[in-house]
A = this chain, B = another copy of it.
């Protein structure tokens, strides 16, 4: 066995164990009995300690030094293992285990505080999480920027400063578009009616199938905050049902299908290697967003969905597919990121990006977070937050230690804008399929040009090679202005 073979064999087991830990997380958020929280925290901490020990195993350093990769795939495996090894080696085992245990508990505390509308029950725990994350960031940053060190886990090769420049460029056009829309004479109707949970879930399954979700390697369950989980042969999605708002369930399902399909679409030869997963959270989000928005909220698919929903629900108040399309894309003031329309979504991200940079740098304390959130929300959205579950408690991320994650959502939107231009050029008749409830020509283009590569190419290189052009926010902004000018007669 060569050093590379030894490295790979060892890595395959680590990947298997990491997949087990991820499955445990799925279990916790979907099916676990509520009284098992403490036990699960101990189980997660034990898994984390095993994983940390493996990721920092000194043999990896020796194998890396001796490995002679023979081709691009082997070279990239060596690079990614090396990157992970160097990051993991900087975080002490004690800290890794404490982080796993604290965030596992914090998630339960967050969920309860959110249900009870009591941020004061969660903020002391968030403060603990923050202290641990700052410690982790300091260990990773090695003198560099703390926030960049965390960001690097989700979107390698990008800095907060670069993202800030991108966001500054996007904000004026998004704000102008939003203000024009909200001031327009013509406003789409809201959807009203009776939408039973079981019917919504049946429709969600139909939509998942329309977007090519492979049920033999997946399943759908309910969760407080929808997510997808798992790789290779087993990538599961979750959704939620808000009875008066069926678009919530349907579009969050299509969104998670995008994530899961990315994992399921990776070349099976990469399974159990560092290439066998989505290359970054930004690219991940580009897949979920292009499924959900550029395809799912387009006029073609909306027309098909209109017919399905008219059949499934009695007494839909909207009886015309064009009006229905406007309703699907309705822009209204709102508190919740995951329910935000395409125009305002990135503004929600910008708020979180700035707040979490301040939390990590220590410029903002957990105890002042509610006030800071509410003040910033009022400034950006001209609406006062009415209750904590509509404000600072709405997202799970910070409770589980995901700092540096939020900006990747907006990056994903930018990537999706770029990919959509290329996909539409390559598949000119995509809308004809979408109008029949069949996204497969688009899904196949994405699988071929993005998904199958897994971690082989770095994020920007992957998107630029798929689109044959440089990454820019222009395609996304042009698409939004064009789409919403038509819908709102601007």
| Residues of chain B within 8 A of A27, CB atoms compared | 23, 27
A20 in contact with B42 given A35-B214, A214-B35 (CB within 8 Å): no
Q: Which of A22-65 contact B (CB under 8 A)?
A: 23-24, 27, 31-40, 42-43, 45-47, 49-50
How far is A16 from B44 in the complex, measured between Cα atoms in Å?
Answer: 8
- Which of B33, B43, B216 is in CB contact (< 8 Å) with A20? B43
In-complex Cβ contact of A16 among B13, B42, B216, B232 (8 A): B42
Does the CB pair A17–B46 fall under 8 Å?
A: yes
List A357-372 residues whose CB lies under 8 Å from chain B. Answer: none
- SS class, residues of chain A in contact with chain B: helix
A234 at the interface (CB under 8 A from B): yes
**Complex A-B: 22 CB contacts under 8 Å:** A12-B42, A13-B46, A16-B43, A17-B47, A20-B47, A27-B27, A31-B221, A32-B234, A33-B216, A33-B219, A33-B233, A34-B216, A35-B214, A35-B216, A35-B233, A35-B234, A36-B217, A39-B232, A40-B233, A40-B234, A42-B272, A50-B50
Please give, as numbers and ranges, the residues of chain B lying within 8 Å of A215 by CB-CB distance. Answer: 33
Binding site for B on A (CB under 8 A): 12-13, 16-17, 19-20, 23-24, 27, 31-40, 42-43, 45-47, 49-50, 214-219, 221, 232-234, 236, 271-272
Bound complex: CA A31 to CA B20 (Å): 15
A33 contacts B234, C-beta separation under 8 Å: yes
Q: How far is the CA of A42 from the CA of B47 in the complex (A)?
A: 16
Task: Decide if B218 touches A33 in the complex (CB within 8 Å).
Answer: yes
Task: Give the shortest distance, in Å, between A97 (CB) and chain B (any CB).
Answer: 10
Contact between chains at A233 and B39 (CB < 8 Å): yes
Q: Which residue of B lies closest to A264 (CB)?
A: B35
Bound: A216/B233 CA distance, A: 31
Cβ of A271: which chain B residues have Cβ within 8 Å of it?
Answer: 39
Q: Which of B13, B46, B234 contacts A49 (CB 8 A)?
A: B13
Q: How far is the CA of A413 from the CA of B38 in the complex (A)?
A: 35
Which residues from B are CB-within-8-Å of A236?
A: 33
Residue of B nearest to A34 (CB): B216
